[in-house]
Amino acid sequence: MTLSKDEVRKVALLARLELDESEIEKQAEHLNNLLNQFEKLQELDVEGIVPTSHSMPVYNVFREDEVHPSLSQSDTLANAPESRDGFFIVPRIIE
Amino acid sequence: MPQLYELTACELSQKLDRREVSSLEITEAVLVRIAQVEPKVGAFLTLTPDVARNQAIEADKRIAAGKRIGPLDGIPISIKDNMCTKGIRTTCASKILDNFIPPYDGTAVIRMRDAGTVTLGKTNMDEFAMGSSTENSAYGPSKNPWDVNRVPGGSSGGSASTVAAGEAIAALGSDTGGSIRQPAAFCGIVGLKPTYGLVSRYGLVAYASSLDQIGPLTHTVEDSALLLNVIAGHDPMDSTSLKVEKKDYTQACRDEVKGLRIGVPKEFFGEGVDKNVSSLVHKAINQLCDKGAIAEECSLPSIDYCLAAYYIIAPAEASSNLARFDGVKYGHRTKELAGHIGLMEKTRDEGFGAEVKQRIMIGTYALSAGYYDAYYKRAQQVRTLIRRDFDTAFEKYDVLITPTSPTVAFKVGEKTDDPLAMKLSDICTLPVNMAGIPGMSLPCGFHDGMPVGLQILAKPFGEETIFRAAYAYEQSNPWRYARAVL
């Protein structure tokens, strides 16, 4: 299994990482090294083994639909790189 | 006569109860120590001396009024910089959170404060807890107090250094694959990763949510129990925190191991483990046997697949958790104008360090359409096999004992160009997070002038058994009195 630079570019787009040419090359090398190590997993017979996503039993947790105190709008916006009139400001997404 | 900053939380607590010393005196002694050694160690990212002094003064008022909250009231501690502290910068050692001031406190942070502890500051770490040496910090590495040319381990290397250097009496860290235990071993102190779900993760910046757990770093086993008493317990703010009865873990610190069944899994003593390390661990097991424990070699065959499975599962969860850093709600935003996708891409490229990007990339790939079955699902199936191996072992044994890390602390820069060698440093600790069981590292001697740690594991919620075994070993050895000279 070897990833081409184009495939690495596609993963970078999915991950929302802008990587320059030298970074793409480094990532490709790194990913391919790791994928080689992961090959070891293919030798195991896992037929019928239930995957574990959580080591402990976890269940959906419900509570009454009651209003609890929460962060104020100003606290919530305090760390925003840009905000105005109680909104987060983002670049225009609709032309 | 040891200095105040060299004492344990238990010892200081007794002094506070007897009014031999005030919390402010202890706090000032630690702050002076920080001023002296911090230029060499670099353990803190943010210091909060004013907060500390105020909290110490409040603790002294309570003590004067006969209203001391408990054994940790007035004790100075440090907190890893991935736990949210209201009004105090929390960076995760990442440029992307360089300016982040949390509007709320994490639950463990609240519980420590409610217990009366004095907060000295926030400690250095590998960026987003991804690493084993603190060399991945965007603010530069911390150094090992036993030898400042060596790493303190990671990712909770800053927290471990503060305790080992006398810059804090105890500390909170977090452990996703060994990030409390490995630095504890490298720095000659006690580090506990509790059972998954025992301590709330609310306010802990998520790396790999199914593996992360907060725990204490301390000089002694009993101090570890004191901190766990405070931070353990169900929290409605964390849906994965479990409803288990409150326990006093100090009661489990008894020098009594007669009949304790110890399993010694051979996979943890194989190739790559320094002979000096494994012989110290075997010596410790023999000591416990001299006190009446029974040890036997055992096997956890799936462990050989753990490293590969971990480096799929943890990055997969990380790639999802770190999607929140988009330059919109908090943290760094690029100055370049680039449209909405470009804004995220550039922000994340500028804000994340190399290791974090690598893990996001591998995680994104492992979860992407067409590869899910081959990687992520298979890794989770391996996780099931690992858990089964532990379950089987714990039918026969009360605890398992292994080395914490295959070697003593390595030199700064020694493994930065060899990612696999760096990852192998966690080979003995990773399986514990995969299975969700508790594990403690405690000092078992020195090699080459550097501390060596052994690891004690128990079944889920078997912390008391760990404390008992660890305490019994600790009491027969001088390691808890050893302090780094700086």
Q: Does B169 touch chain A (CB under 8 A)?
A: no
B235: closest CA among B320, B323, B114, B86? B114
Output helix, strand, coil percentages for chain B, rounded to the nearest 5: 45, 15, 40
Please judge whether B460 and A56 are an interchain contact, meaning their C-beta atoms are less than 8 angstroms apart: yes
Among B100, B311, B387, whose Cβ lies nearest the Cβ of A52? B387
- Give the global pTM: 0.97
Closest residue, chain A, to B437 (C-alpha): A55
Q: Does B101 touch chain A (CB under 8 A)?
A: yes
B60: closest CA among B4, B22, B101? B22
Shortest distance between the Cα of A55 and any Cα of chain B, in A, equals 5
Shortest distance between the Cα of B239 and any Cα of chain A, in A, equals 6
Bridge partners of B214? B174
CB B248 within 8 A of CB B229: yes
CA-to-CA distance for B77 and B164, rounded, in angstroms?
12
Domains and CATH numbers, chain B: 4-257+438-481 (3.90.1300.10)
| ipTM of this complex prediction, to 2 decimal places | 0.95
Shortest distance between the Cα of A22 and any Cα of chain B, in A, equals 12
Structure tokens at B103: 């509007």
What separation, in Å, do the N-terminal and C-terminal C-alpha atoms of chain B show?
Answer: 17
Please judge whether B308 and A78 are an interchain contact, meaning their C-beta atoms are less than 8 angstroms apart: no
Q: Does B374 touch chain A (CB under 8 A)?
A: yes
> What stretches of B116-253 show up as alpha helix (H) in DSSP?
157-164, 181-187, 221-231
C-alpha to C-alpha distances, B43 to B6, B121, B161, nearest whole angstrom: 17, 10, 6
Residues of B tagged active-site: 80, 155, 179
Structure tokens at B173: 């860290």
Ordered by start, the domain boundaries in chain A are 5-43
Give per-residue burial for B23-34: e unless 16+ CB within 10 Å, then b: bbbbbbbbbebb
Which residues of chain B from 113 to 152 reach within 8 Å of chain A, CB to CB? none
Closest residue, chain B, to A7 (C-alpha): B365
Bridge partners of B76? B118
Strands (DSSP E) along B146-252, which ranges? Answer: 170-175, 190-193, 213-218
Q: Residue holding tokens 């090992």? A: B144
B52: closest CA among B87, B93, B23? B23
Closest residue, chain A, to B390 (C-alpha): A55
CA-to-CA distance for B205 and B331, rounded, in angstroms?
13
486 residues of chain B, pLDDT tens digit each: 899 999 999 999 999 999 999 999 999 999 999 999 999 999 999 999 999 999 999 999 999 999 999 999 999 999 999 999 999 999 999 999 999 999 999 999 999 999 999 999 999 999 999 999 999 999 999 999 999 999 999 999 999 999 999 999 999 999 999 999 999 999 999 999 999 999 999 999 999 999 999 999 999 999 999 999 999 999 999 999 999 889 999 999 999 999 999 999 999 998 889 999 999 999 999 999 999 999 999 999 999 999 999 999 999 999 999 999 999 999 999 998 778 899 999 999 999 999 999 999 999 999 998 888 889 999 999 999 999 999 999 999 999 999 999 999 999 999 988 878 888 889 999 999 999 999 999 999 999 999 999 999 999 999 999 999 999 999 999 999 999 999
